[in-house]
Amino acid sequence: MNETLLRNLVWMDYRLAFLFLVIAPLVLLIWSLWQRKEAVYKLLIIYWRVASLLMISVYLLIPGWNVGYFTGVGSRILIALTLWFWVDLNEEIRDFSSSLLKFAFTSWRWAVTLYCALGAIANSFFLPCGFSEATKETTSCQIWLEAPRAYRALLHAKPGNEGFLGFMGAFALSIYILYLVYFLLVRLGKQGRQALEQ
């Protein structure tokens, strides 16, 4: 693929992620609190917990750590799954009377599901970047590191802190994995696909 085209697509992906996966759910979260729609609010809180893996991926990619390529793809898969996983929340949202919030939330949920599915497929072509140092040095792999490094330059401008930021990402990933294992082994067995405790 042409290097300029790839760079434009990668930067577009990061911009779309910021719009669809950060700004829109934040607006919907505030809106659901204001409208007192507990099911939407609860699903968005769960979404934010799952989507935190995206931010962890950015911190892992700042120093160019290989695991960041895998967590980036994994985060998209988990986001798409979590938006539809909870039976009780889905039923409650489906039973809402027609409103602008319901339309906006449903539209966002479908858009994010499609975006994450397509993004996971597209990003999976770059998973070889995470397998070997030689592959990671290719231009296409380096292009994926440009946005995380620009983020670091914008918010963490202190020179030479890439390793520390990567360590913070790795620490956050450890906590994320522990919580995910707890959820799969303990909570899922007790509550199943019910988000609200009975």
Q: Domain residues of the chain, as ranges?
A: 3-191
* Both structure tokens of 173: 């990933």
Averaged pLDDT, 86-115: 91
Averaged pLDDT, 152-167: 83
Averaged pLDDT, 129-136: 78
Calpha distance 20→41 (Å, rounded): 17
| Long-range contacts from 17-25, C-beta under 8 angstroms, 24+ separation | 17/54, 17/119, 20/108, 20/111, 20/112, 20/115, 21/51, 21/54, 21/79, 21/112, 21/115, 24/108, 24/112, 25/51, 25/108
Note the pLDDT tens digit of each residue in 61-94: 999 999 999 999 999 999 999 999 988 888 888 8
Ramachandran region, residue 132 (left: φ > 0; alpha: ψ -120 to 50; beta: rest): beta
Residues contacting 27, CB < 8 A, separation 6+: none
The yes-or-no verdict on residue 150 having pLDDT over 80 is yes
Averaged pLDDT, 128-154: 85
Query: Which one is predicted more confidently, 130 or 159?
Result: 130
The yes-or-no verdict on residue 98 having pLDDT over 90 is no
The yes-or-no verdict on residue 149 having pLDDT over 80 is yes
Report the Cα 85 to chain-centroid distance in Å: 16
Average pLDDT over the chain reads 91
Q: Which of 31, 32, 74 is nearest to 52 (CA)?
A: 74
Which residue is it, tokens 């935190």? 52
Averaged pLDDT, 109-116: 97
The yes-or-no verdict on residue 197 having pLDDT over 70 is no
The H or E element spanning position 1 is none
Query: Which one is predicted more confidently, 113 or 196?
Result: 113
What's the pLDDT score for residue 13?
94
Give buried/exposed letters for 2-20 (b at 16+ CB in 10 A, else e): eeeeebeebeebbeebeeb
Q: Look at 55-59, 84-88, 159-163 and tell me which has the smallest mean pLDDT.
A: 159-163
What's the pLDDT score for residue 11?
93
